[in-house]
Structure formats: C-alpha cells, structure tokens
Structure 1
C-alpha cells in the first residue's frame, strides 16, 4: 500500500538564473527558494509582479529548466521521475491559451490522449458538467466568454485526475459572481483530497481560501506560515473613534501609540503596537480626558497589511 507523501510540493535551494548575452545582466529569478507545501493544503503564494511566481510555476510544469536545487511533486523528483511528477500535477495557467478552433470536449479529449488515458476511463462531459460548461461542449472555444475559457482551462488541468492542482491567477479578469463560484469549486476540490497551490493578486481571495501563505519577493521566500499566524504577526493595530472633540484636543501619552490622525469620514484613527499597549489602556486615557466617545471601530489586520510589510522589507 502506497503511503501518501507528507509534502505535495517540496523544493530545496531552488535557483533559476536567466542568462543574457552579457553575463552581468543575468537575472536571478529564484534564489535558494525552499518551500514545503503539505499534502491537502490550500497554499497561497503571493508576491509583486516579477517576484518569481511564474518562474516557479514554470519549473513545476517543466516549461523552464532550473539552474540548481531539487524539486519534488508528491515525492517524485521532476528530473529523475519526470513522468510520475508530471502525472501528479495539473497546472492552470494565467493566460487563456486555447486553440480557437477546438471545441471544449475536443480540448479535454486531446488532453486525455496526451496523458495516455484510455477512452473508457475518460470523463470529458462529466468535467464540463461540473464546471458549468456542458451546454458549450460543442461550441468553438473562440466563442466562449473569458470566464468560460478560464473554467475550461481548469477542466483541462483536471483531465488526468492530478492530486496537486496549481492555479495561476485563476480569477483574473472574471466578475465577482464567477469568482465566488470558483472559490467554492476550489474548496470542494480540496475537501476531496486535492492539494491546491494558488497564486493571486486578490489578497482577499488568499485570505479567504488559503490555510497557509507564502510571500515571494525578488526570488526569495520572505514569509511562510499558516494564514492566521501571519495575520497575528503584525505588531500594528488601529482603532477609529468618533467623539465630540477635535483631533488636536486628543492627547494620548502612551508608549506604543504611533499616530493619531483624522480620517475623511470624520473619525479619528489611532494606530498602536499591541506588544506595547492595548485597546483598554487607550480608552482609559480618553476617559481620563473626559472625552465622550460616540462610536468606535476596531480595524483588524488583513493580508494586505502583512503583504506590504514584507514587500517593503519592514519585517524579517
């Protein structure tokens, strides 16, 4: 009986250098990139444009040859066990690269043939049905909307029933309703045992879907933790108060309060470090100044705050 590997994707000191004509201009796209994505996770890989996300995905897909380091997919080395590694993973690219003269059912049948799947074991219509494309099965791909083509690419990646699915910006350019439909589909797929690696520019998407987050910047993995731990790591919170007083009349003398500013909606924003003070100490000082608070809002840390901290180099 084969035991399920602990890691769906595992890299060790992965490097990719794009050589140019002038060696001084060589681009180091991945720098000692080491990552372990546990089997069964929904893992979000975030980073600015040019950070190395696409290079990493292309290495997984065997579209780009790594310079050094090791890469394993479900324990299969992508060089030594190329066929097994390739069969273990499905990749949905960001680009909507479909032959305009192929029909969706033909796209899936062709893909199944490339993976050597016998006709009796194929379920092209079933996949199209699951992704809401059954009615378009015999329409030309060029007639499909952007959202439909996105779903067809997902179906194509699932044709060989991979246990690891990589989604590169899966909701780019789709409307809100379809975005949430895709989220639900990803959750359902994951609940059935598929490991998901997701790259996205929508931080709300990553925060909602992913149980683990990695942040890549300039080819390096600068953050890697469970989503909740990452959100808890930022030593900055903000409360917004509405009071019958002007901003200049508020005098908070507490170590850890970094700013007191008036916002456009008439609230006064107080930013503080939870490691040095807390919400109740601030309220106590306001009460001591006989400031009557009409309303108060506590702003929770979100993934955007964390992302910006790491990208700007404020966190180590």
Structure 2
C-alpha cells in the first residue's frame, strides 16, 4: 500500500475516533410510563409553531403545567431525551403536564440583543406563542392557568430571562440552566419589575456561557454579546424580588461517581419574598446534569451530584 494512502487512512481513522470521543452520547432508554404523548401545532401571526407534551393518563383537572425550552439547534424532543426523560417521570408521578416546545428554525427569540438567528431577524413573538400554549392546555386539558412554570437550557434559558421580563405574571416559577442574564446593554426585555421565583444552574467550566461573566459564544463562534456572572445573575433576581439578606451557602452531598466535581447551592430568601437559588456546578461544562444521561464530551463534564430536573421540581412545588 502506498505510504500516502496509508497516512490518509490513518488520519481518517483518527478523525473518526475523535468524532466518536467528543460527540458520542450514550443512548437513553425511553421509559415505560403511564403517560400520553402529544404533538401539536398552532399558528401565530401566519407562522406555524409546534410543541410536544406528555400528559399523565391519570389526568385530573387543575394540573400544573411545566414548559421545557431547549437549546440552540435542538428540538423539544431532543431536550426530552437529553435529560433522560426525567421530566416525563415527574409528569407521571406528580400529576403534571410537561410541554416541550420547538423553537423557530432552531433558535428562540431570546433576551439578548446580539443575535443573527432567524427568530431574531424575523422578530418571532415568543410571548404570544407561550400564552397560546397555556390557553390550549387550559381549554383542552383544564390545567391550572395560575400554576404554570418554565425551564430553559442555554438559548432556552435566555428565553426564560425574556419571559421573566415580559410576562412574569404568567409563571409561578422559572429556571434557567447554563444561561446567565445578559448585561443590561445586551438585554432586550421589557422591564425588570415584579417578583419571580428563579432557580439558576451554572457550570464553572462552561465555555459557552462564562461562569464569571463575559462573552457568550458557542465553540468560540457566533458571539451573542455579554452576560453577567452567575452570582450577579442571582443577585439581580434577588434584588428584583426585594431580598436584602445574604445567601445561605452549602455543598450538596458528593457522590463517588461524580469524580472531581462539586455542587454548591446559594439560597437567597427573605420572609414573604420569592426565593432565588443558584447551583454552582464546579468543574461542569455546558450541560444539563441529570441522573441518566451524559452529554457529549465536547460540551464538558457533567455530575451526578445535581439531578437538575428533580431539583427544579422540588423548587417549583413550594409554589403550588
């Protein structure tokens, strides 16, 4: 075999190995749960929008409703799998309807001024989309419209910040995962008033959303402007909620399989004020930590010390 051909084959094998190493994520087995799966579309301003949902078969009226907003270039079904179907488990065991909406052409028209994705260019009205989904589930499944919650990862977390600004009155609680608040010169929201319970998760080794604040960019491409640090984001919401007390800080129990990672919870709480929680995931990258699924290595490390979907549900439950 010619030397050049041998070298090319070895290079190809090396590229295949690297691709497998950095992009592989173990397949998560879908659980056999007592739920109904739904896929539906609605039209908003001439644009067809889609969403997916899981509904407990033991459905009753006045169920809570939780939206889970995915990251850039994902879909609702993608984030559902990425968190190991844990929100499906929560739906079945706690009597909750979970909705996994799809972004417009892969991205949300979120809270950041800087962005060249179609949803921003075409100024897609995400608040109207959310309101119409709430109305749909209230009409068809009789959910409690006063018991609606929102969770967002990455670009979906930036949408959470915009919803917290524009229509916070629609939500009893919100959670932004790996999405610190844009700096005010990069913020597109309508305002910053009104209390909103907020749970935040941030990774110290997140190279997309810097833990200490700075430029948001995916794989050092497509800059999305500046964002606050994780602690400044928590303080922003604590101040918004009228909390003046310093946070209580504690380490979560460490599991051996989590290796050299750690999770620290900072809780901002005052009497009769809406709580803010910040989970600092030390050594963790741009991932959605959960007990079943590992994100591709290129996104950074994860940890089993933080089972994010159940931590979110525990936070939301206090407002039901």
Q: TM-score, normalised by structure 2?
A: 0.27
Q: Which of structures 1 and 2 has the larger relative contact order (alpha carbons within 8 angstroms, sep 6+)?
A: 1
Pick the structure with more strand per residue.
1
